[in-house]
Structure 1
Amino acid sequence: MKNNILSLLAVALLLTTTSCTIDVREDNDQPVNTGGGTSTTVSVLDGTGNLGGEISKDLLIKKGNYTLTGIVKVQPNVTLTIEPGANFTASTTDVSGLVVLKGGKINAVGTAELPIVFTSDKKTPGDWGGITLYGNAPIKAVNGAPTALSEDGNNQYYGGDDANSSSGTMKFVRVEFGGRKIGDGSSETNSMTFYAVGAGTTLENLVSYKGTDDGYEFFGGTVSAKNLVSYGNYDDAFDWQDSWSGQFNTNWFAYQTQVGNFGMEIESSSNVDNTAPKISNITLIRGAGTNPESAGSNEISAIQFKKQGSGIFSNVYVDGYKNIGTQKAYAVLIQDAGTETSQLVPGKIKVTPVFATANNDNVLQYGYSFNTTNPLTYVNNAAVKKVVLNSGAWATVNGVDLLAALK
């Protein structure tokens, strides 16, 4: 009898110390093979459930349909694993979002035909807060600060000292209708946001679809990304600051439609000393009739550099960036004299080869928003072709192939 009582106490202690605060319909502790020949016991969502609150224990989510409620936070030293074919519908009753905190990891690996999809119940832009990852890589915020407070309402300090840190893996993941403001109601979120995310993180075959802020935004860090699709996002398709310095980026595609600002908005938080990120194969297309968020805004160019922003871009294809009223659109716009002097002239801004089709205005010279008597020019290279990405369920929404403009 004494041995039975001790056994029951041991089981109770195990359940207490390994519990997590997720709110699910099914939260079964199951042995799961980790790929290394051994098994570990994690919580499992098996086909249905509600995901909410803080995830404080490793969690495996299997293929199925789930509801995401409120701001779900993956805690440090915890891994959230999501299998192909898992679909999450964010509730708009609450302000919802998925946040992986510094030290936590996401392992969301879908396939081209079984992507992992995050959408919303109302299917309208800005319904929920999207996905945010925090890492431990270096940043340079304003005045070169190595840390800064996030602007997403989560009140997290970001910035670290491990350039190769990993926040996990995301492959074949689609985020729809993100960009909702969270926290104080005015803080910005994007469809996908990366705070100080390190180069050990894998970002591949991702889609940001019709969010009300940026498709992707990098706040410092060293992570690189390939096969990115930004479709119909209201602000900028791609955006970064705080001296993001990813070196191995390739195949970025933006299609701006109805509402959209810059194809790419690039800054380094006014830090002259920065490492220019590198991106090969970029296609930026602005659909006919697309207007900036604010009437009369000059945020209508394909690529904008400001506040010491830098970047080395090769094979850049630009189409559809046309003047609106008195506002001029350019393939490349330099916003301030300091950025020209300290980044463009020394060669830390390079956009070559580039091809701006006849369906663009102000072709063959860099644009400026300040006075200059000698605008720099670029050579238009018709040999540059659109990015090549393979269609599939990962880039299809309601039967619409998001990659059709690349054909």
Structure 2
Amino acid sequence: MKKSILSMLAIAALTFSSCSEDDNNDPVDNSGIITSNADIIAGDLHGTIEGNVTLKSNVEYLLTGALLVKDGYTLTIEAGTTVKVEAGRTDTYVAVEQGAKIMAAGTAAKPITFTSNATNPAAGDWGGIVIAGKTQTNKGAAVQSEVAGLTYGMPAGSAIADDNSGVLTYVIAEYTGAKINGDAEFNGFSFYTVGSGTTLENLVVKYGFDDGVEFFGGTVDLKNILCVNIADDMFDFTGGYTGTITNAFGVREAGFSTASKDPRGIEGDSNESDADALPRSTPTFEGVTIMNFSTETELTAGAEIRRGTEATINNIAFIAVGDAMFGNLVDTKDDSGNGSVTFTNAYKMGNVGENKVGGTITGDIVEDANLFNGTAVAAGKGANFSVFAWSGYTIPTVN
């Protein structure tokens, strides 16, 4: 009997030890239903939101798994709120279904911040913010998102161009881009067929392991976005995106060597299977700066516009500082379909490469040795960096 008891205790101890290991690849149980603020556990924030709930600015939150807002409900996040995220997982993210809303209205004085809880945080520590809306995509009527398992896209007759998924203003997302596998990676912000009724203004992504922001179809506009040290593309779109991106500033700092095989400033697709699929990606950019300080990794292209995309870019500055480089300046050639882009007021400085033309590039990109003087980008050329003063980020300086 004594031997039996000791054996049982040994087994129990082994089981406890096994269950107590911090295996970051094990999924957190996200089955908890949140119907009111009373259901929120600040130090273990995760679950399915099936009520109208609010994250408070005076509470410290730790996101430990997926936080999913279901159709018909709203997640409100007060200005000044900080959400720390358990690092090293692939199942820590915020997702908003079609028909649901996120109301994250920060202010310049009180931004909303999502960041890693790691002692030494790094790109890819957690997922990101994923929103699905009810507009069209050329990928189909009901498509599953690359991450978070959301359905996006609508049949042509039922798509809502001005669909409203809520508000994201003065929001910072740091150390995003967790990689699930070679085909599924989170971006800082992922917008799946999000409609023009949604407000996206003053967003910052820092240290992203995949893209800074990506649009998968949709009609939503974005105003004022800063992307710092993004391993893949700073600004990305696909699937028939038709919105306008105004004042986009992207920078890769010296010493930042984390990179995909082909990081770019702008990457634009319409449809990789059928370049003529409708709706076609026809985005407009108004005021863009793409800067590279890193000599460790060149940007494959300042802008790659391909696969049926027809883009308009007004007032853009491509800048490679010192010995940093771009592989290509603008690339419109692709085996799955060429693209076309029209530039007005386009400028370049440094080792930014040459154009790779397969489709159409309209408008000149003018050499300007004074685009960057070591401390600031020339006024009126490219994005207006001053609007990001609220974020506390400053452009690196060089001699």
TM-score after normalising by structure 2:
0.77
The one of 133, 140, 143 aligned to 1:135: 133
Change (3 A) 1:266 1:195: same
Does residue 317 of structure 1 match 2:317? Answer: yes
Opposite residue 85 of structure 1, the aligned amino acid is G
1:356 paired to 2:348: yes
SS of the residue 2:82 aligns to: strand
Pick one of 316, 331, 356 that aligns with 1:367. Answer: 356
Aligned partner of 1:50 in structure 2 is: 44
C-alpha separation in 1, matches of 2:291 and 2:88 = 34
Deviation at 1:375, TM superposition (A): 8.8
Superposed CA deviations along residues 63-121 of structure 1, whole A, max 9, x for unmatched, are 13211110110111111111111000111365311111111100001111211000011
Q: 1:377 Cα deviation (Å)?
A: 7.1
127-136 or 92-101, which deviates more:
92-101
Letter in 2 for 1:216: V
Residue in 2 that maps onto 1:36:
none
Distance 1:98 1:238 in 2: 20
Give the corresponding residue for 2:291.
Answer: 285
1:380 and 2:377 correspond: no
Distance 1:268 1:201, change over 3 A: same
Count of aligned residue pairs for this structure pair? 339
Match of 2:265 in 1: 263
Normalising by structure 1, we get a TM-score of 0.75
Q: Which structure 1 segments of 5+ residues have no match?
A: 1-19, 29-42, 293-298
Q: Are residue 172 (structure 1) and residue 170 (structure 2) matched?
A: yes
Other structure's SS at 2:287 match: strand
Tell me what 2:308 maps to: 308
Deviation at 1:159, TM superposition (A): 0.2
Report the equivalent of 2:13. none
Find out whether 1:223 has 2:225 as its counterpart: no
In structure 2, do the counterparts of structure 1 residues 391 and 221 end up closer, same or farther at CA, with 3 Å as the change threshold?
closer
Question: Is residue 113–residue 392 contact of structure 1 (8 Å, CA) maintained in 2?
Answer: no
Distance 2:352 2:220 in 1: 34
Quick one: structure 1 residues 328 and 360, their matched pair in 2 at CA, closer, same or farther if it must change by over 3 Å?
closer
Does the aligned pair in 2 maintain the 1:114–1:393 contact within 8 Å?
Answer: no
Superposition map of 1:7-406 within 5 A: 21-22=33-34, 27-28=37-38, 49-64=43-58, 65-92=60-87, 94=89, 95-122=91-118, 123-141=121-139, 145-152=140-147, 154-160=148-154, 161-182=159-180, 187-246=184-243, 248-257=244-253, 258=256, 259-260=258-259, 261-269=263-271, 270-272=274-276, 273=278, 274-291=280-297, 300-320=300-320, 329-336=327-334, 339-340=337-338, 343-344=339-340, 349-357=341-349, 359-362=350-353, 366-368=355-357, 378-380=364-366, 382=368, 385-390=381-386, 394-396=390-392, 401-403=393-395
Deviation for aligned residue 1:22: 3.4
| CA distance in 1 between partners of 2:69 and 2:198 (Å) | 16
- 2-structure distance, mates of 1:337, 1:179: 27
Quick check: 1:44–1:60 contact (8 Å CA) kept in 2?
A: no
1:23 Cα deviation (Å)?
Answer: 10
The whole-number CA distance in structure 2 between the counterparts of 1:84 and 1:405 is 31
Q: CA deviation at 1:362?
A: 3.5
CA distance in 2, matches of 1:376, 1:227: 25
Aligned-partner residue type, residue 96 of structure 1: T
Alpha-carbon distance in structure 2 between the residues aligned to 1:328 and 1:185: 24
Instruction: Tell me, in whole angstroms, the C-alpha distance in 2 between the residues paired with 1:212 and 1:187.
Output: 12
- In 2, are the aligned partners of 1:367 and 1:375 still within 8 Å (CA)? no
Q: Pairwise CA RMSD of aligned residues? A: 3.0
What are structure 2's unaligned runs of at least 5 residues?
Answer: 1-31, 369-377
**Contact 1:391–1:403 (CA under 8 A) maintained in structure 2:** no
Per-residue CA deviation, residues 25-59 of structure 1 (Å, 9 max, x unaligned), is xx44xxxxxxxxxxxxxx788xx553211111101
Question: Per-residue deviation at 1:156?
Answer: 2.7
Distance across 2 between alignment mates of 1:335 and 1:163: 30
- For residues 142 and 35 of structure 2, the distance between their equivalents in structure 1, rounded to whole angstroms, comes to 33
Q: Which amino acid aligns with 1:75?
A: K
Q: Is the 8 A contact 2:137 2:241 kept in 1?
A: yes
